[in-house]
Amino acid sequence: MEKHLFTVSVYTENNIGLLNRISAIFQRRHINIESLNTSASEIEGVSRFTIVVFMTEDQIKKIIGQIDKQIEVIKAFYHRDEDTIYQESALFKIKSDLLFEERQIQNIIKESNSRIVTVNRNFFVLEKSGRREEIELLYRELSVYGIMQFTRSGRISVSKEEMKISKMLEAFNH
Amino acid sequence: MKETQTIEVKNKATETTQRISGSEAIIKCLIAEGVDILYGYPGGAIMPVYDELYKYQGKIHHVLTRHEQCAAHAAQGYARISGKVGVAMATSGPGATNLITGIADAEIDSTPIVCITGQVPSHLLGSDAFQETDIIGISTPVTKWNHQITKADEIPSVMAKAFYIAKSGRPGPVLIDITKDAQFEEFDFKYEKCTAVRSYKPVPKTDSQVVSQAAKLINAAKKPMIVWGQGIILGGAEQELKQVIEKAGIPSAWTILGASAIPTSHPLNIGMVGMHGNYAPNMLTNECDVLIAIGMRFDDRVTGKLDTYAKQAKIIHFEIDPAEVNKNVKVDIAVLGDAKESLIQLLPLLEEKTYPEWLQKFKDLYAIEFEKVIKGDLHPTKDGLTMGEVLKEINVQSKGNAAIVSDVGQHQMIACRYAEFNTTRSNITSGGLGTMGFALPAAIGAKMAAPDRDVVAIIGDGGYQMTIQELGTVFQQRIALKIVVLNNEFLGMVRQWQQLFFDKRYASTEMTNPDFVAIAKGYYINAQKVTKREQLKTAVREMMTTDGPYFLEVCVEKEDNVFPMIPSGASVSDIRLS
């Protein structure tokens, strides 16, 4: 069976230790997590994990079942890339001199749709949100001139189809 | 039914608040949950709770085991025989880590236990304090749920949730870690039982349409076969299963943890599946046309090689845990839900049938197994004693009414193959984890939960020495437990594999054993050693009729093997008889 990139979305209670519990499910099957992000969700008090993994659909189904049965997991979903809107965010720290000395850098910034977050005498910070390929392209372009620091976030994603968490929680209250 | 009512009444009484310490609150929660016995071992970080246990000793009986691992196993034995939640308690650090084997065993065998551990005071958390260990982190992969309490006022709601989660749905172990300052802290106590957790759906609702699809498939089958597991026992669905089996006339086999749900003598009970199960149900798994799995999880010890497991059959899986469906074996129909509820819905849809020719196949294969294996095990003509004949003698003298608690290894397979069961919840063994040392402490818990039943622990000489210190608990608590050690002076199952698959290189499997009888007598337990066949009957009789605990050592043939056997990774139909 063919492997794909899957985005796993897990709605959970906001609980210490749950990250451990969820990551252990991947760990015991020796699956590398490509990226992981935790944040608030659209529902007050409910957290959301966004996990990207590369595996077969057969495997991801089993893993979703094992995540879903954790007590504090409200519901887990998995999606293929085409079923989600997704983004990553990256920060580049670069020497300020370059901004004035290398005309090309200004063009790169414009063309890449990235944004200058701050500038001071020593360095400036560039922020770029987008798909992985776009960020990687920008990285390659800037690395020619030297990058002082680089960091990229995990994927965040929303699904095209509805994930009926509010309805599930409402059903519990009634 | 009556019991539930009294508990509810008691609960209402606790609704008025009172100012008490966290540790007293823990005891009050246990009492409110109907806990009468708990197993544990004191130490620094749990001392405030033990101080309260001292005050409440008339209401709740604490059993001091000789090792925390055994507190967890005793709680398991208590739960397995009674269906109630077993409770174990330990201090922080090593006390807590020693519980882990028992917790892992309870997780994989779906046993409801609640473990309470003390923890260093909250201001020391994370500082590598004396006897500090991250037991939440350590226990996470082997608990159904765990939680650390750092404030006394969390105790009632967390304890209520712990018991609810442990016993509801597919049961499992819960660990609650309580810092010492939370044990000392005073607060206004009020207890309410937990009846629901919003992110947790313990029992999927049985879908009647899926049940009717299953019924259609079963009714149309020519060679149907049932394999039931522990889900029947956990769901209290023994009667419903019996009705289904009898109405539909289907030959039915069991997994090791499903044993005793239907009496051994039932004409449609065709024996055990799996690595050392019976010949017929293993062979015919690959011949049946509809395989009906109920409350079992297609463990690799049951299925053997998955690529050749029941490929010809349509498979119906009755299962409470959605994560088990299609995990190992792809099924055609999955009936999610509680086994009892699903079988109640299934029964009226089934046609009354019998399958005489199909059933005869099982009988024919049994005859082959009897000739090649069982006869030699139960009616040996050689000099050395067999494990099987010891089991046969116990069957005869207990009339099949004893609960058999077995350890792990050859004797376990022999016990599960040959023990005769008339009543459910009578086979207590470590199935999924295969924990040597399980039997003695689990039997302690079982006997204390069911004092009116005969409880016989069947243990090998290897596993016995892993938890032999619990003879101290047996002696101190005067537990009328029968302990049988089948001594072959080997780690027999490993030796069998070495013989069959490692050219008889017996690496570290031979044991030079102590005088087990003298050790038992050292604990003032009546004891006897049997070396000859003619001594066996009287020795077993003496054991079964002695009041109080009894230890019986039977020296059996050193290099006997357990057959049938499906070699690891082979197909169920490649089962070997020799």
B486 and B393 in one domain? Answer: yes
Q: Which of A13, A17, A66 sits opposite B199 (nearest CB)?
A: A13
CB A65 to CB B136 under 8 A? no
A79 and A161 in one domain? Answer: yes
B43 CB-near residues (< 8 Å, 6+ apart): B90, B91, B92, B93, B95, B118, B131
A131 and A69 in one domain? Answer: no
Give the C-alpha separation, B494 to B499, whole Å.
9
A13 to chain B, any CB pair closer than 8 A? The answer is yes
Domain end (from B160, B189, B218): B189
Domain end (from B189, B221, B255): B189
B243 and B98 in one domain? Answer: no
pLDDT digits (tens, 9 = 90+) for B483-519: 999 999 999 999 999 999 999 999 999 999 999 999 9
Question: Are the CB atoms for B261 and B239 separated by under 8 Å?
Answer: no
First-last CA distance in chain A: 42
Question: Are the CB atoms for B165 and B193 separated by under 8 Å?
Answer: no
Read off the tokens for B549.
Answer: 């605990």
Q: Which of B140, B148, B323 sits opposite A68 (nearest CB)?
A: B323
> Which amino acid is located at B268 in the chain?
L
B406 and B351 in one domain? Answer: no
Please state whether beta strands A156-159 and B18-21 pair in parallel, antiparallel, or not at all (unpaired).
unpaired
CB atoms within 10 A of CB B247: 15
Question: Are the CB atoms for B502 and B496 separated by under 8 Å?
Answer: no
A114 and A46 in one domain? Answer: no
B223 and B170 in one domain? Answer: no
For residue A165, give the chain B residue with the closest CA. B199
For residue B161, give the chain A residue with the closest CA. A71
Closest CA to B373 of B444, B507, B282, B256: B282
Contacts of A57 in chain B (CB under 8 A): none
Given a cut of 80, is residue B175 above it in pLDDT? yes
* Threshold 0.90, pTM exceeds: yes
CB A61 to CB B136 under 8 A? no
Question: Are the CB atoms for B550 and B478 separated by under 8 Å?
Answer: no
Q: Which of B8, B18, B55, B130 is catalytic?
A: B130
Using the structure block, give the residue that is written with the tokens 């709740």.
B60
Contacts of B141 in chain A (CB under 8 A): 21, 24, 28
pLDDT digits (tens, 9 = 90+) for B525-570: 999 999 999 999 999 999 999 999 999 999 999 999 999 999 999 9
A166 and A144 in one domain? Answer: no
Question: Are the CB atoms for B148 and B182 separated by under 8 Å?
Answer: no
Q: What is the pLDDT of residue B4?
A: 37
Give the C-alpha separation, B475 to B549, whole Å.
8
CB A62 to CB B165 under 8 A? no
Given a cut of 50, is residue A5 above it in pLDDT? yes
A122 and A103 in one domain? Answer: yes
Q: Which of A16, A17, A169 sits opposite B198 (nearest CB)?
A: A169
A76 and A11 in one domain? Answer: yes
Question: Are the CB atoms for B533 and B385 separated by under 8 Å?
Answer: yes
CB B323 to CB A66 under 8 A? yes
> Which amino acid is located at B148 in the chain?
Q
Question: Are the CB atoms for B295 and B339 separated by under 8 Å?
Answer: yes
CB A172 to CB B200 under 8 A? no
Is residue B377 situated within a structural domain?
no
Provide the shortest C-alpha distance from residue A86 to chain B (in Å). Answer: 26
Read off the tokens for A166.
Answer: 């509010």
B336 and B446 in one domain? Answer: no
Contacts of B145 in chain A (CB under 8 A): 71-72
**In 3-state terms, what secondary structure has residue B189?**
strand
Q: B275 lies in which domain range?
A: 208-362
Which of B147, B199, B203, B321 is the best substitution to test chain A (most A C-beta atoms within 10 A)? Answer: B199
Our measurement of the distance from residue B531's CA atom to the centroid of its chain's CA atoms, rounded to an integer in Å, reads: 30
Is residue B200 situated within a structural domain?
no
A109 and A75 in one domain? Answer: no
More confidently predicted of A23 and A172: A23
What is the domain count for chain B? Answer: 3
Is residue B564 situated within a structural domain?
no
Active site residue B371: no
B420 and B345 in one domain? Answer: no
Closest CA to B289 of B232, B243, B251: B251
Q: What is the pLDDT of residue B56?
A: 97
- CB-based burial, B345-355: b 16+ in 10 Å, e otherwise: bbbebbeeeeb
B134 and B179 in one domain? Answer: yes
Given a cut of 80, is residue B2 above it in pLDDT? no
Question: Are the CB atoms for A90 and A152 separated by under 8 Å?
Answer: yes
Preceding peptide of B173 cis, ω within 30°? no
Active site residue B5: no
Given a cut of 90, is residue A170 above it in pLDDT? no
The domain that contains A45 carries what CATH number?
3.30.70.260
Question: Are the CB atoms for B362 and B344 separated by under 8 Å?
Answer: no
Give the C-alpha separation, B304 to B571, whole Å.
5
Read off the tokens for B99.
Answer: 């519980």
A43 to chain B, any CB pair closer than 8 A? The answer is no
B430 and B358 in one domain? Answer: no
Share of chain B above pLDDT 90, in %: 97
A165 and A135 in one domain? Answer: no
Q: Is A108 exposed, middle or buried (0-12, 13-18, 19+ CB in 10 A)?
A: middle
CB atoms within 10 A of CB B395: 20
CB atoms within 10 A of CB B560: 23
What is the domain count for chain A? Answer: 2
> Which amino acid is located at B263 in the chain?
P
Q: A68 lies in which domain range?
A: 3-85+157-173
Contacts of A68 in chain B (CB under 8 A): 322-323
CB atoms within 10 A of CB B431: 27
Question: Are the CB atoms for B161 and B189 separated by under 8 Å?
Answer: no
B423 DSSP assignment: S
Query: What ipTM, to 2 d.p.?
Result: 0.92
Give the C-alpha separation, B399 to B389, whole Å.
15
The domain that contains B161 carries what CATH number?
3.40.50.970
**Number of inter-chain CB pairs under 8 A, A vs B:** 48
CB A69 to CB B321 under 8 A? yes
Provide the shortest C-alpha distance from residue A31 to chain B (in Å). Answer: 16
Q: What is the pLDDT of residue B313?
A: 98
Give the C-alpha separation, B109 to B408, whole Å.
14
Q: What is the pLDDT of residue A166?
A: 83
- Chain B residues touching chain A at CB-CB below 8 Å: 136-137, 140-141, 144-148, 165, 196-200, 321-327
Give the C-alpha separation, B65 to B445, whole Å.
10
Contacts of A62 in chain B (CB under 8 A): 323, 326-327
Contacts of A73 in chain B (CB under 8 A): 199
Q: Is A58 exposed, middle or buried (0-12, 13-18, 19+ CB in 10 A)?
A: exposed
Read off the tokens for B42.
Answer: 């004191």
Read off the tokens for B262.
Answer: 């239907």
Q: Write down the mean pLDDT value for chain B.
A: 96
Given a cut of 60, is residue B8 above it in pLDDT? no
Share of chain A above pLDDT 70, in %: 99
Packing angle, helices B410-418 and B492-501, rounded to 10: 100
CB B140 to CB A17 under 8 A? yes
Question: Are the CB atoms for B449 and B416 separated by under 8 Å?
Answer: no
Q: What is the pLDDT of residue B16?
A: 66
Q: What is the pLDDT of residue B10?
A: 44
B183 and B106 in one domain? Answer: yes
CB atoms within 10 A of CB B357: 9
The domain that contains B358 carries what CATH number?
3.40.50.1220
Give the C-alpha separation, B273 to B417, whole Å.
10
Question: Are the CB atoms for B164 and B202 separated by under 8 Å?
Answer: no
Domain end (from B189, B222, B245): B189
Given a cut of 60, is residue B12 above it in pLDDT? no
Give the C-alpha separation, B21 to B33, whole Å.
18
B149 and B116 in one domain? Answer: yes
Using the structure block, give the residue that is written with the tokens 């889900």.
B231
Given a cut of 50, is residue B109 above it in pLDDT? yes
A45 to chain B, any CB pair closer than 8 A? The answer is no
Q: Which of B161, B167, B180, B314 is catalytic?
A: B180
Read off the tokens for A45.
Answer: 């008090």
A103 and A140 in one domain? Answer: yes
B216 and B164 in one domain? Answer: no
Active site residue B490: no
Given a cut of 80, is residue A173 above it in pLDDT? no
Provide the shortest C-alpha distance from residue B355 to chain A (in Å). Answer: 36
A162 and A98 in one domain? Answer: no
pLDDT digits (tens, 9 = 90+) for A38-94: 999 999 999 999 999 999 999 999 999 999 999 999 999 999 999 999 999 999 999
Give the C-alpha separation, A51 to B151, whole Å.
32
The domain that contains A112 carries what CATH number?
3.30.70.1150
DSSP chain A: --EEEEEEEEEEE--TTHHHHHHHHHHHTT--EEEEEEEE-SSTTEEEEEEEEEEEHHHHHHHHHHHHTSTTEEEEEEEEGGGEEEEEEEEEEEEHHHHHH-HHHHHHHHHTT-EEEEE-SSEEEEEEEE-HHHHHHHHHHHHTT--SEEEEPPPEEEESS---HHHHHHHHH-
Is residue B432 situated within a structural domain?
yes
A120 and A102 in one domain? Answer: yes
A117 to chain B, any CB pair closer than 8 A? The answer is no
Active site residue B544: no
Contacts of B323 in chain A (CB under 8 A): 62, 65-66, 68-69
Q: Which of B131, B213, B243, B499 is catalytic?
A: B131
Q: Which of B24, B33, B52, B68 is catalytic?
A: B68
**In 3-state terms, what secondary structure has residue B401?**
coil
CB B198 to CB A66 under 8 A? no
Active site residue B186: no
Given a cut of 70, is residue B307 above it in pLDDT? yes
CB A20 to CB B137 under 8 A? yes
Give the C-alpha separation, A6 to A132, whole Å.
14
B269 and B126 in one domain? Answer: no
DSSP B96-123: HHHHHHHHHHHHHTT--EEEEEEE--GG
A95 and A47 in one domain? Answer: no
Give the C-alpha separation, B348 to B346, whole Å.
6
Provide the shortest C-alpha distance from residue B97 to chain A (in Å). Answer: 18
- Point out the least confidently predicted range of B13-22, B443-452, B521-530: B13-22
A71 to chain B, any CB pair closer than 8 A? The answer is yes
